[in-house]
Amino acid sequence: MDFFELKGGEMHAEGVALSAIARDVGTPAYIYSAATLRRHAQVFRQALAGLDQPPLVAFAVKANPNVAVLKLLGQEGLGADVVSVGEMRRALAAGIPADRIVFSGVGKTSDEMQAALAAGILQLNVESEGELRRLSAVASALGKTADIAIRVNPDVDARTLAKISTGKAENKFGVPLDRIEALYAEAAALPGIRPVGIAAHIGSQLFDLAPLEAAYVKLGELVSRLRAAGLTVTRVDLGGGLGIPYDPKLPPPPSPADYGAMVARVTKGWGVQLMFEPGRLIAGNAGVLLAEVITVKTGATKSFVVLDAAMNDLIRPTLYGVYHDIRAVRPRPGEMVATIVGPVCETGDMFAEDRAITPVHEGDLICLMTAGAYGATMASTYNSRPLVPEVLVDGDRHFVIRKRQTIEEMLELDRVPDWL
Ligand code: LLP
């Protein structure tokens, strides 16, 4: 459910016409709906209302790290799941309290560990023996104690795209299940470390609750085994991963309520605080990439709609071959079939192949839907195309929450040695 709707024949974000935003900031531009972000945060929290203890929902900052977006979600009571010092600084800058921040990621540097300990965040999720021992050394040197969870690799097939599956034995993430007990016991004995629990995240854009349930069942068994060994477990982080609808023609993914009911059933009696790290579910449908049609050209075998947005602005279709709905801002009657591309010099710079859309002409505005998660944050300046702005709409207001990068700003980072 989102708040991008046609009103009077024109697509609006809440109360603001997208053409008005295009006039204000130009195109391409990412547009986010505050009401949609709030609604998703509330729906997810409500779905978890039946748990034994109030959970911590930590938004996966990687999905949309804009400070204004994080501030809005922080006001909804969400914490932050971060994977770099940059993301941690963004969460803190957005006013998310340190005790709602969890630091995940398969390769934390010593500098990142120091920064996390200095900030006093809630927990670090440790992903290897080496990382645990180095964290112990870093924390001891600072005279601090790091609360940690150990990320488990539960060896479960999440049945999603291979590039975003993280819970199979051959994936780089987490510690194999059969080594957790020994590592947890070692953690409990190490200086500067207090193990508080375990974590798992098996993949993203999941359309099936069964693999999540299988992973959670394994975590539950592990909690019992750890406790039987005399170890203390007070938190379990169940990660993120719930899928969202990108293609309106496909059956929808499981709802947050279905997910919440499954979690409540599987985790009953665990006696821990649960944590969640949703990213896409919160932000995905809350954003669109607004673009202008530069030209419509007829090739030998296909018609092409060339947009001013490209793979550098939204890389998901190129990188994963995935579907984003494409809609005209002012739909014209009828239908055309076209291949929708950007101006970047690669054949892979393609948003959709042979897609039926309403007819578009040069100068028309279109939206690439469901671009609020893993959109702007994965953008690059490839082909020396400046990063595009981000705009937050709230009711009938809008605000530029990230300005368009200028070519001067892009050039400014380059240096030419005096021997050239
Ligand atoms: N927690 C951890 C440890 C993660 O690695 C991720 C995502 C999440 C939470 C959030 O997952 P979500 O709820 O958003 O599914 N760029 C890809 C997605 C990569 C996801 C990486 N990890 C895409 O555009 O589909």
- In the beta sheet, which residues pair with residue 187? none
Query: pLDDT-based confidence at 190, cuts 50/70/90?
Result: very high
* Atom 16, ligand 1: residue with shortest CA distance: 374
Measure the CA–CA gap between 360 and 304, rounded to whole angstroms: 11
What confidence tens digit (pLDDT) does each residue in 352-367 have?
999 999 999 999 999 9
Q: Is the pLDDT of residue 166 over 90?
A: no
**Ligand 1 pocket, mutate which of 43, 62, 282 (most atoms under 8 A from CB):** 62
What confidence tens digit (pLDDT) does each residue in 34-73 have?
999 999 999 999 999 999 999 999 999 999 999 999 999 9
Q: β-pairing, 10-13 with 16-17? A: antiparallel
pTM of the model: 0.97
- In the beta sheet, which residues pair with residue 340? 305, 352
279 close to ligand 1 (CB < 6 Angstrom) = yes
Among candidates 296, 371, 267, which has minimal Cα distance to 326? 371
What pLDDT score was predicted for residue 163?
86
What pLDDT score was predicted for residue 227?
98
Residue indicated by tokens 């609750």 = 209
Residue 332, helix vs strand vs coil: coil
**Ligand 1 pocket, mutate which of 43, 103, 173, 277 (most atoms under 8 A from CB):** 277
- For 133-178, the DSSP string reads HHHHHHHHHHT--EEEEEEEE------S-GGGB--STTSSSSEEGG
Q: Is the pLDDT of residue 1 over 90?
A: no
What confidence tens digit (pLDDT) does each residue in 250-307 have?
999 999 999 999 999 999 999 999 999 999 999 999 999 999 999 999 999 999 999 9
Measure the CA–CA gap between 360 and 305, rounded to whole angstroms: 8
φ and ψ at residue 45, rounded to 5 degrees: -65, -40
φ and ψ at residue 90, rounded to 5 degrees: -65, -45
Q: What is the mean pLDDT of the chain?
A: 97
Query: pLDDT-based confidence at 170, cuts 50/70/90?
Result: confident
Q: Is the pLDDT of residue 92 over 90?
A: yes
What pLDDT score was predicted for residue 55?
98
Q: Which residues are catalytic?
A: 345
- For 290-330, the DSSP string reads EEEEEEEEE-SS-EEEEES--TTT--HHHHH-----EEESS
φ and ψ at residue 365, rounded to 5 degrees: -95, 140
Measure the CA–CA gap between 65 and 376, rounded to whole angstroms: 9
Among candidates 12, 36, 8, 14, which has minimal Cα distance to 22? 12
What CATH architecture does domain 4-31+284-412 belong to? Beta Barrel (2.40)
Ligand 1 centroid to residue 63 C-alpha, Å: 7
CA dihedral (283, 284, 287, 292) positive or negative: positive
Query: pLDDT-based confidence at 160, cuts 50/70/90?
Result: confident
Give first-to-last CA distance, the chain, whole Å: 56
Among candidates 339, 247, 356, which has minimal Cα distance to 301? 339
What does the domain layout of the chain look like in residue ranges?
4-31+284-412, 34-279
Residue 249 Ramachandran class (φ > 0 left, ψ -120 to 50 alpha, else beta): alpha
226-250 burial: b if 16+ Cβ within 10 Å, else e:
beeeeeebebbbbbbbbbbbbeeee
DSSP 8-state symbol, 284: G
Measure the CA–CA gap between 377 and 63, rounded to whole angstroms: 7
277 close to ligand 1 (CB < 6 Angstrom) = yes
Q: Give the pLDDT mean for 12-41.
A: 98
Query: pLDDT-based confidence at 181, cuts 50/70/90?
Result: very high
What pLDDT score was predicted for residue 326?
98
Token pair for residue 389? Answer: 């702005």
**Ligand 1 pocket, mutate which of 204, 320, 323 (most atoms under 8 A from CB):** 204
Q: Is the pLDDT of residue 158 over 90?
A: no
284 close to ligand 1 (CB < 6 Angstrom) = no
Ligand 1 centroid to residue 277 C-alpha, Å: 9
Token pair for residue 115? Answer: 């920064």
Q: Give the pLDDT mean for 69-87.
A: 98
The CA-atom distances, in angstroms, between 273 and each of 52, 53, 122, 234, 362 are 8, 6, 13, 6, 54
What pLDDT score was predicted for residue 159?
86
Contact 402, 90 (CB under 8 A): no
CA dihedral (110, 114, 117, 119) positive or negative: negative
What confidence tens digit (pLDDT) does each residue in 372-417 have?
999 999 999 999 999 999 999 999 999 999 999 999 999 999 999 9
Helix axes 209-228, 256-267, angle to 10 degrees: 30
Q: Which atom of ligand 1 is nearest to the CA of 240?
A: 13
User: Residue type at 179?
Assistant: R
Q: β-pairing, 101-103 with 79-82? A: parallel
What confidence tens digit (pLDDT) does each residue in 319-333 have?
999 999 999 999 999
Query: By percentage, how much of the chain surpasses pLDDT 90?
Result: 96
Class of domain 34-279: alpha beta
Measure the CA–CA gap between 115 and 101, rounded to whole angstroms: 13
Q: Which helix (H) or strand (E) holds 81?
A: strand 79-82
